Structure 1
Amino acid sequence: MEEKTLVSMVANAADDKRAEDIVILNMKGISLIADYFVICHGNSEKQVQAIAREIKDQAQEQGIDVKRLEGFDQARWVLVDLGSVIAHVFHKEERSYYNLEKLWGDAPHLQLEELQA
């Protein structure tokens, strides 16, 4: 699956579970970890788990290997590693504390519409 299609699928899966403030960062040339980060948050532990589960389930339906799923039980910061794309699903309170968007401030932000064009 093409990276942009995968990023779009992750963002749409998060949106399906009403994730808030979905941000897509293009990490190419900035981080060796992944090419894209998708960052979002939920307002409760149950919602955070539902978002992460939907991302995992949709990836597996598309034949994408979920390399790692961390933090699911605590549901404060769930990391879903899909290789070139990593989804960070935060609880609202944790997101403002870690502020990944500021940490990776030099990464270009993408809009979902740009990926679908």
Structure 2
Amino acid sequence: MTVPDPVLSNVRVAAQAAADKLADNVVAFDVSEQLTITDVFLIASAGNERQVGAIVDGVEEALLKIKVKPVRREGDRENRWVLLDYIDFVVHVQHTEERTLYSLERLWKDCPEIPLDIDAPEPSDDE
């Protein structure tokens, strides 16, 4: 893996923030060997647009706390597939339907998956 440790640390902060907002199936891929524009794709999904927005906001807030700011945010009008570009890594938060349709995991299956070691919150009785 050629991803620098500070980038991996930021990706793990983003992944934990997504998990804290109840994101589904949070995964990260080292795309540094295939792409020159970024090192990591972090992918998460949610079942509705409101939750997609909450996950995106949570990720952005967690990274801002450690002074990491995205250079671009796209797709937040519809909240079906929102992209946060941090140059060294890109966060994709997709509605479950978009995740199934575009299947980014299939596209990047030859790239190594990055272990995230995130703590998923326990579901409450209300869920």
Gaps spanning 5+ residues in structure 2: where? 118-127
Larger radius of gyration: 2
- Aligned twin of 1:22: 26
Summarize the alignment of residues 1-117 of structure 1 with structure 2, pairs less than 5 Å apart. Answer: 2-113=6-117
- Cα displacement (A) at 1:51: 0.3
Q: Using structure 2 for the length normalisation, give the TM-score.
A: 0.85
Unaligned runs of 5+ in 1: none
1:41-79 deviation per Cα after TM superposition (whole angstroms, max 9, x unaligned): 011100000000111111112111211110011011000
More helix by share: 1
Aligned residues: 114
Instruction: State the TM-score, normalizing by the size of structure 1.
Output: 0.92
The runs of 4+ residues in structure 1 deviating greater than 6 Å are none
Instruction: Give % identity.
Output: 35
